[in-house]
Amino acid sequence: MTESPVPLPVSSVLLAELVACPGPPGQEDAVRAAVASYVTRLGLPSSTDARGNLLVPLGERALEKPRIVVTAHLDEIALMATDIDADGGLSVSPLGGVYPWKWGEGPVEILAGTTRKPTMLAGVLSFGGIHTNSPLSAAQQSRDGRALTWDMARVLTGLSPQALAKAGVRPGSRVIMARQRRTLWPLGSDLIASYFLDDRADIVAWLLALAELRQDSAFEDVLFVATASEEVGGLGALYLLRERPAEIVIALEIGPTTPDNPLALTPDPTIWISDSYASMIPTDIAMAESCARKLNFTPRFQALTRGGSDASCAAAQGLCARPITLAFAADNSHGFEIMHKDAPEALAKLLIAILHKVA
């Protein structure tokens, strides 16, 4: 390891770069390359496994037999083309928890081809006109009380099926939020809004923690992993942990404010005590609370009634003994998300404190 790493940019610059990178499940190459470049700047080795996870060991033992795995996921919610119409429009289905009303009509891009640097073709997500009473229209179906669903949507491309095929667009091609919509939006004096803060803000915290811990010999068996395909069932983490089951998995996530889990948008991290897949053990809850208080954070606990993390999905499969999920508070989860601008730094501090406790 080098003794003089190149510092990371300020977190807002780093976050903006990561949000701009496309990363649908199974095609996270652009995000992974950006993260790997910053890992290299820190003087740390990294490798990519067959599932697309980026592995960063803090010691020699960590790569083969980690005791602790720390994850933040590379992928984002997206769409997948399922059919191509005679006029070149695409039918789509969701990859992860993406809802039509969260995206609305607007520009999207289709990742064409199978290379690590696919061509980005322009498209428009469309639900059609409203000036009709036809029961076939999305507008009339919504007037009749039916929820807006992806089978009502089409992605218009302006290209023929033949041109799309030549470009490498086929069923299975990923459809993502267009570059024009991948920007940070300051809100008031303290908040930031953007698509895909889940999980790019956590990647920022993950990198900040790596920068702090990189030369500490206490973490020889700690493996940092930027995981692939988390949004579709934690698949990247499950692949990794089936070969390398760990005692502890710490996942960095989003802490959504909901009616049953209301949160103020402050920098203070949240602690998932349970979700749809698993629960933290009481001693780890107490330990995380103690670490938060020593950092002068107000401990905030979440019992999520829907959702999961790399840690909880792994615990549900028997691939780790102690799942711990730490998160930043956010509104509009899986949409145009809002968080406190200092949340990634606070999350990194809590992660580092917990690692000092458990390592």
pLDDT tens-digit series, residues 61-85: 899 999 999 999 999 999 999 999 9
Q: How far apart are CA 47 and CA 60, in angstroms?
A: 13
Question: Would the pLDDT of 188 be above 90?
Answer: yes
Which of the four pLDDT bands, split at 50, 70 and 90, describes residue 4? low
Share of the chain above pLDDT 90, in %: 93
CA distance 39 to 6: 10
At residue 97's C-alpha, the angle toward residues 96 and 101, to 5°, is 130
Do 249 and 237 meet the contact criterion of CB atoms below 8 Å apart?
A: yes
> How far apart are the C-alpha atoms of 155 and 144, rounded to whole Å?
24
User: Residue 122 contacts by C-beta under 8 Å, 6 or more apart in sequence?
Assistant: 107, 109, 110, 157, 158, 178
The domains found in the chain, sorted by start residue, are 11-76+196-358 (3.40.630.10), 78-181 (2.40.30.40)
- Calculate the average pLDDT of the chain: 95
> Measured between alpha carbons, how far is 201 from 187 in angstroms, rounded to an integer?
16
As a whole number, mean pLDDT of residues 46-72 equals 96
Over the stretch 5-42, which tens digit does the pLDDT of each residue have?
788 889 999 999 999 999 999 999 999 999 999 999 99
Beta strand spans in the chain (E): 47-48, 54-57, 68-73, 78-84, 90-95, 106-112, 119-126, 154-156, 174-177, 185-187, 191-195, 222-227, 246-256, 270-274, 300-303, 320-330, 336-340
Cα dihedral sign for 97, 98, 99, 102? positive
pTM of the model: 0.96
- Please give the average per-residue pLDDT across 159-187, as a whole number: 96
Task: With a cut of 90, say whether residue 96 has pLDDT above it.
Answer: yes
User: Tens digits of per-residue pLDDT, 172-181?
Assistant: 999 999 999 9
Closest to 333 in 3D by CA, of 245, 235, 265, 234: 265
Predicted pLDDT at 2: 43
Mean of pLDDT values over 232-258:
97
Query: Average pLDDT for residues 341-349, to the nearest whole number?
Result: 98
